[in-house]
Structure 1
């Protein structure tokens, strides 16, 4: 199957997910952790079910990994990875910077990714051998001459353990820390691909959190890797870096590694 056909299928998945999510955004119901009917649970289940229905019809032999409904085996070496609402806290708080994430992995390597923001109707698409697009127009990351100029984003300190937090703070201190951005989940990676920020550092991510982001960042000229600078694969841990300017990678890895424990 050509990547163009995969992209077309992924776009249909994103459309279906957005249609399922929009009616539940800012509906004012309390997002109670104990009950199973908060807007986010209704929305992300409906969105994932809609995407799975299409995949079962169109790509029945491919594997599926979804945040809500788990894994289904396949026989093709291809795996669709779905996160219907990445950025649950933003969704609950009425901030339209959550996103639907759709990825296609071949033998564990991400080859296609979509970030879809269904409220603002903003969509980033990345695929191997293709330039990344934002609402159909090509986008590029921006150059960053010095780490001290870099605008850094992370979803929040609550996702780092103490050890990871130390490394993050060491990195943050080397960047333009007055412009440190908190919150944003997948939306930050779209902004990085579009050239609006330079660096993202996160920990505790699962495969469905990052798989779609790699083709988007890399197709825009950036790079994604783990905290040791290794490429991301289905077996990677949850410590993730994204850089708009790959020339800064050594500086970032050095800054993260220079924190010494007594």
Structure 2
């Protein structure tokens, strides 16, 4: 069997012209608001169909896929009955950015789970690089390997701390206590949601040299009610990078058959980042500790 990297290469080749086509005619692209107040376009459906077809061509027609736009409303019996090998797909993470011609923070996301745990992931941001060129990142948990545009890179955990936090939130959700504590501790905050996956990517990998303006790395990513397809690939990259991921009590995140079989698997909260930044968060948002 081909390695999963061959699937990543195929997806990049197939997805880039599809994204370019839809982005060239945004004015004629209908946009629908879903029940959770996120956006849906024909591009989301087209990209999802392409990705799922590629996965099933690679892994067999019986490949088990959890995809954002699969419209599942009941227990996922295919997931419940499988051996823990599951593909998670978010066709366009950051659709609200995708439909704005001036924005570039959107991406297509695939994560492979094996034995119910993230094993490999691929993120393609078609226009994120300087000059609106693609940026791709893949992760392999078994080898702790991270590839940025096909070249192996060191994780952000091995670089100097930047004192930045991604603490994006749902509309209407306020966290004034956290905001004050973070600013007092010296952290800069990002609170507006663009692409959760790209924020998690920036927690695991430094991409600032590839973007204009430079998009700096985050020391900590915190999100409540994070859907699986928004988080699986980012959590896979974090694991490969040696970062810590947990819930708001410091407990490991749920990766079980029952959780993944839900119609919309959702983490109550995701706290991911440098161990010292996660420790600061868990210890009452006090001054961050330096190693």
Asked whether the two chains share a fold, i.e. TM above 0.5, the reply is yes
Count of equivalent residues = 246
Residue 179 (structure 2) pairs with residue 169 (structure 1): yes
Matches within 5 A, 1:4-15: 5-15=3-13
Matches within 5 A, 1:228-243: 228-234=249-255, 235=259, 237-243=267-273
Q: Note the C-alpha offset of 1:40.
A: 5.6
Distance 1:216 1:102 in 2: 12
Match of 2:48 in 1: 48
In structure 2, the residue matched to 1:192 is 203
Report deviation, 1:68. Answer: 1.0
Normalised by the size of structure 1, how large is the TM-score? 0.80
Helix, strand or coil at the partner of 1:129:
coil
Q: Does residue 134 of structure 2 align to residue 121 of structure 1? A: yes
Deviations 1:33-74 (A, max 9, x none): 379xxx961111111101111222222232101011246726
Give yes or no for the alignment of 1:61 onto 2:62.
yes
- DSSP-derived class of the 1:228 partner: coil
- Alpha carbons of structure 1 residues 108 and 41: separation in structure 2 relative to 1, 3 Å: same
Return 5+ residue gaps in structure 2 as ranges: 128-132, 207-215, 260-265, 287-291
Report the counterpart of residue 280 of structure 2 in structure 1.
251
**Alignment correspondent of 1:100:** 108
* Counterpart Cα distance in 2 of 1:34 and 1:241: 28
Partner of residue 157, structure 1: 169
> Quick one: structure 1 residues 167 and 209, their matched pair in 2 at CA, closer, same or farther if it must change by over 3 Å?
farther
Tell me the CA shift for residue 111 of structure 1: 1.0
How well do the aligned residues superpose, as a CA RMSD in angstroms? 3.1
Q: Which residue of 2 aligns with 1:260?
A: none
Cα distance between partner residues in 2 of 1:15 and 1:217: 25
Tell me the TM-score normalized by structure 2. Answer: 0.72
Match of 1:221 among 232, 242, 248: 242
**Using a 3 Å threshold, how does the CA distance of structure 1 residues 10 and 227 change in structure 2: closer, same or farther?**
farther
2:156 corresponds to 1:141: yes
Task: Give distance in 1, aligned partners of 2:172 and 2:238.
Answer: 22
- In 2 relative to 1, CA 15–242 (structure 1 residues): closer, same or farther, beyond 3 Å? farther
1:81 aligns with 2:88: yes
Please say which of residues 222-231 and 118-127 is displaced more in the overlay: 222-231
Tell whether the 8 Å contact from 2:65 to 2:86 is kept in structure 1 after alignment: yes
SS of the aligned residue for 1:125 comes to strand
